Amino acid sequence: MAVDRRHDDFDLQTFFPYLVRIFYRAVSGSISDIYLSETGLGPPEWRIMVVLGPYRSMSAGEIVDNSSMDKVTVSRAIKKLTTAGLIRRDIDGNDRRRVALKLTQEGIEMWDLLIPLVKEREQQLLDGLSSEERRQLVELMAKVRTNAGRFSEQ
Amino acid sequence: MAVDRRHDDFDLQTFFPYLVRIFYRAVSGSISDIYLSETGLGPPEWRIMVVLGPYRSMSAGEIVDNSSMDKVTVSRAIKKLTTAGLIRRDIDGNDRRRVALKLTQEGIEMWDLLIPLVKEREQQLLDGLSSEERRQLVELMAKVRTNAGRFSEQ
DNA sequence: TGACATTAGTTTTTTTTGAAACTAATTTCC
DNA sequence: GGAAATTAGTTTCAAAAAAAACTAATGTCA
């Protein structure tokens, strides 16, 4: 009458993707705390500010390519940032579908405020890791990412 | 007439939280590919299946504590899983607010199907990393997570 | 014991996000 | 030169998630 209880054993607390998730949430939460409390920007708006920076000028599509966000999210965030006066949209003379995006003076000032804070937090996150360990961590994450690419998009 | 262009320099491609984000997205996408195509479960439902496992019985609140999801998401996912016949809800005799959750036979069968697949994918993600490197990666993520805890909830 | 606080979980409302369809501009190539 | 295909970006619509308010049950302590 004994039921077969032979299942694959599985421990969530050591399951790698789970560890990655709680790691990611800790890190991203730690950064979003800053730009949220400091400016009220949401994650997509923040990411656009950051890929743009004080010098660069990019199209919406280039931002998509450099931010791992999708078209729609980027388009909406651009609208918000424009309304808030943080970026300027200049329609391209040659190709009138393209819009060149640039931080305004006000946007640059916000960038200047935020960047030192998030860089400081970045260092705090890496506290207690030697530079060799930091290098390793980044390298290992990159390796895993390469593996994911190979096994997913068949 | 020269404008002051002395801004903090910042490179997104080496910004640690950005690297963590694309790393996380690669890993979680790689796993969700599997349970999505194999079962149609969404991430919250999958996570509950996994924390529960074939033996354990937990309350909704315990699942919240063990899954880094919030109350509402868990409550809704439980409803879906119950409707789908994958988990059973037993109201606690002593405390009638509590509901003990358990996988049904059908839920266990799905678990038995999925776990070997995701464990295989886990290994594929870690392909090319020595066991020493795997240990290091996990340990370094844990360190960063500890740091995040210290600096965030002031 | 009985008002007040707490806890478990759900429902409602609002905000975010993502997928699909769409518009407008440009390219391709016959 | 102009129909067909492609590209950039937006809008619309549907699904997911987060926040807030709520219900029901239990605990506390005067």
- B79/chain A closest Cα distance in angstroms: 22
| CA distance between the termini of chain B | 44
Within a 10 A sphere around the Cβ of A44, how many other Cβ atoms? 21
What are A41-80's pLDDT values in tens digits?
A: 999 999 999 999 999 999 999 999 999 899 999 999 999 9
- Share of residues in chain B with pLDDT > 90 (%): 76
Contacting residues of A for B125, CB less than 8 Å apart: 16-17, 144, 147-148, 151
Q: Which residues touch strand C (CB under 7 A)?
A: A 42-44, 69-73, 76, 94-97; B 59-62, 71-72, 74-76, 78-79, 95, 97-99
The whole-chain average pLDDT of chain B stands at 91
Task: Please give the pLDDT value at position B154.
Answer: 41
Task: Please give the pLDDT value at position B5.
Answer: 66
Inter-residue long-range contacts of A84-88, CB under 8 Å, 24+ positions, other chains counted: A86/A45, A86/A49, A86/A110, A87/A48, A87/A49, A87/A52
CA angle B139, B33, A60 (to 5 degrees): 90
pTM (2 decimals)?
Answer: 0.91
Distance, CA of B12 to CA of B141 (rounded, Å): 20
Task: Please give the pLDDT value at position B123.
Answer: 97
Pairing of strands A87-91, B99-103: unpaired
Residue A33: pLDDT above 50?
yes
Distance, CA of B113 to CA of B111 (rounded, Å): 5
Mean pLDDT over A78-96 rounds to 91
CA-to-C1' distance for B128 and D20, Å? 48
Tokens for A152, please give them: 């997913």
Which pLDDT band holds residue B3 (cuts at 50, 70, 90)?
A: low
Task: Please give the pLDDT value at position A95.
Answer: 86
- Share of residues in chain A with pLDDT > 90 (%): 79
The values of phi and psi at residue A99, to 5°, are -125, 120
